Amino acid sequence: MIPVLARTMLDLAQARRALRAPMVLVPTMGALHEGHRTLLRRARRLAEPAGSVIVSVFVNPLQFGPGEDFELYPRTLEADVALCREEGVAVVFAPGVAEMYPSLEAHRRPGREQLITVDAGPMGDILEGASRPGFFCGVLTVILKLFQVIQPQIAVFGEKDAQQLALVERMTKDFNLGIQIVAVPTVRDADGLATSSRNTYLSGAERATALAISRALQAALAARPRTIDVVLAAARRVLDDAGQLITPLTVDYLVLADPVTFAPVSPGFSGNALLLVAAKVGTIRLIDNIFLVVTNDVDAREPRA
Ligand code: AMP
C-alpha cells in the first residue's frame, strides 16, 4: 500500500474520509528507525481487521527549548514514507509548522507566547520537565492537536519515553479524550543502545560511551539485594566509569521513581519502580529507563524460607 502523504489539515481530512475504524495513530518526529517500526507493526495489528494506521511526522518546535536541536533534528521524510509503505501505513500526516500553529510564528522563532497550551501539571515539571522547561507542555499540546484533527480510536507510544507516555495517558483520562493508549516496550540495537533518531549523530567513540546507559540499567537489574541503595549504586558505578572516558558521558539524572507519579521513591520503598537515566554524550542527549521491582532493607535481610 502506498501511503497518502497529507501535508495540510485539508489533505488529512480528505484522506481520513476513505478510512474505517479503528484508526490507530502513531505520533512521531520522523527520522524513523526500528523503534518506530515496532510501533507501526503493533498499530497495524491493533487496526485489524478493517482499520488503518496513520503516522504523524512533525518536528514540534514547541517542545524544543532555546539552544536545543530543533534546527538540527534529522528530517528524512522521503525515507520515512518508504518505511511507512513497507509497514502498511495508510496515511502519513506531515504538516509544516505554520499549518500546525497558524497563530505562532514558530517557523521563524520557536515559542509559545501566542498559543493556548496544555499545562502538564506537577508530573510535567520533574525529570525531563526539570531539565527541559516547557518540554511536556509542548508535547501534550501537539499530541492533543493531533488527537483532535485525526480523531483516532487508538494511539501507540513507546515506553522509551516513559514520562511522556504516562503524561499522555494522564491527559487522555483527565480530558476525557476516549482514546485507548497502547504502550510498546523499548526497542534496542543488538549492543543494547535504545534506538533513537538522535543516535545517527553519535560518532563511533560517542556510541561506545553511550552504551554505558543501557549497561547501567542492566547492572541495576542484576544487583542484589534489590534495595534502592544497591540498585542506584550499581547503575551509578557504570555511569561514573563512562564519565572518565576520553569521550565522556555526563549524567543529567539517574532516578528510581514511582512508575505512576514519577516522584523519586522514598527510603524504605518496596514495589514497582522505574529506573530512569538521562545523559549527554558530546552534544547528544539520550534517555533510557527500565522497570524493576525494588525491595526494602528489612525484607532484603529476611532469611529465605
Ligand atoms: P519520536 O519520533 O522520538 O518522538 O518517537 C515517536 C514514538 O516512538 C514515541 O512514542 C517514542 O516513545 C517511540 N520510540 C522512540 N524510540 C523508541 C524505541 N527505541 N523503542 C520504543 N519506542 C520508541
Cα 206 to ligand 1 centre (Å): 21
Determine if the peptide bond prior to 259 is cis (ω within 30°). Answer: no
The residue behind cell 542484589 is: 224
Decide whether any atom of ligand 1 lies within 6 Å of the 32 Cβ.
no
Decide whether any atom of ligand 1 lies within 6 Å of the 138 Cβ.
no
Are 62 and 68 contacting, i.e. CB atoms less than 8 angstroms apart?
no
Number of neighbouring beta carbons within 10 Å of residue 67: 6
Nearest to 235 by CA among 249, 252, 221, 250: 221
Measure CA 232 to chain center: 23
Residue among 32, 39, 41, 139 whose CB has most ligand 1 atoms within 8 A, to mutate: 39
The residue behind cell 512533525 is: 58
Are 38 and 157 contacting, i.e. CB atoms less than 8 angstroms apart?
no
The residue behind cell 534496542 is: 188
Q: What is the pLDDT of residue 297?
A: 78
pLDDT of 82 above 90: yes
CA angle 207–71–127, rounded 5-degree value: 60
Number of neighbouring beta carbons within 10 Å of residue 292: 17
Q: What is the mean pLDDT of residues 17-21?
A: 96
Q: What is the pLDDT of residue 105?
A: 61
Q: How far apart are CA 300 and CA 293, in angstroms?
A: 12
Instruction: Express each pLDDT in 146-172 by its tens digit.
Output: 999 999 999 999 999 999 999 999 999
Cα 241 to ligand 1 centre (Å): 28
pLDDT of 241 above 70: yes
Q: How far apart are CA 39 and CA 89, in angstroms?
A: 11
Are 188 and 205 contacting, i.e. CB atoms less than 8 angstroms apart?
no
- First CA to last CA across the chain, in angstroms? 59
Q: How far apart are CA 270 and CA 303, in angstroms?
A: 17
DSSP E strands in 29-174: the ranges are 52-57, 91-93, 154-158
Q: What is the mean pLDDT of residues 93-118?
A: 78
Helix 135-150, helix 9-17: angle, nearest 10: 40
Q: How far apart are CA 277 and CA 279, in angstroms?
A: 6
**pTM attached to this predicted model:** 0.96
DSSP E strands in the chain: the ranges are 4-6, 23-28, 52-57, 91-93, 154-158, 180-184, 249-257, 271-281, 284-294
pLDDT of 298 above 80: no
* pLDDT above 70 as % of the chain: 95
DSSP E strands in 60-149: the ranges are 91-93
Q: What is the pLDDT of residue 113?
A: 62
Please report, as a single letter, which amino acid is at residue 226. Answer: R
Are 23 and 47 contacting, i.e. CB atoms less than 8 angstroms apart?
yes
Q: How far apart are CA 2 and CA 154, in angstroms?
A: 22
Atom 18 in ligand 1: which residue has the minimum CA distance?
Answer: 35
Q: What is the pLDDT of residue 107?
A: 47
Decide whether any atom of ligand 1 lies within 6 Å of the 146 Cβ.
no
Cα 303 to ligand 1 centre (Å): 42
Confidence of residue 213 (pLDDT cuts 50, 70, 90): very high
Q: What is the mean pLDDT of residues 275-286?
A: 97
Q: How far is CA 291 from CA 135, 166, 167, 180, in A?
A: 23, 14, 17, 22
